Copies of this chain bind each other. A is one copy, B any other.
Amino acid sequence: MKVLLHVSHLVQWDIALSNSKNLKAIEAKSKIEIVVNAHAIQLYRELSENLLQQLNELENLNIKVKLCRNALRNNNIEESTLPATVEIVPAGIFEIIKKQEEGYYYVSP
C-alpha cells in the first residue's frame, strides 16, 4: 500500500498522524508520505517540542514529511530553521500529482 496524505489545513495534521499510525499498525510495510502545503505550513513557523517529537516518531515509522517551498516562502519561513526530518519540495501540488502517477493513493485527512 502506497499512500499520500495531503495536509493543506492545520486541522489535518493531527489526523494525518493518526491515519499514518493506524495504517502502519495494520500494514507495517505500507509506504506513507505526508505533503504539507497552503495554510498548514504555518505549523512550521515555530517548532514546538511536540512537533519535533511527532517528526521523530514519523521518521522512526519511515514516513516521509515533505513541505512545499512556495508555501514556506509565502509564510516567510526560513528553510534553515527546519529540522532534518523534513524534506523541502519545490511545489506541494506537483509532488502530490507525481506521487499519484507513481501509484500512491491520495487521501485528504
Contact = CB atoms under 8 A, between A and B. Distances in A.
A97 B70 CA distance: 29
Majority secondary structure, A binding face: helix
Nearest to A25: B91
Nearest to A99: B105
A73 to B, nearest CB: 11
Contact of A93 (B22, B38, B92, B106): B22
A88 interface: no
A1 B90 CA distance: 16
Interface of A: 1, 3, 6, 8-9, 11, 15, 18-19, 22-23, 25-27, 30, 37-39, 70, 74, 90-94, 96-97, 100-101, 105-109
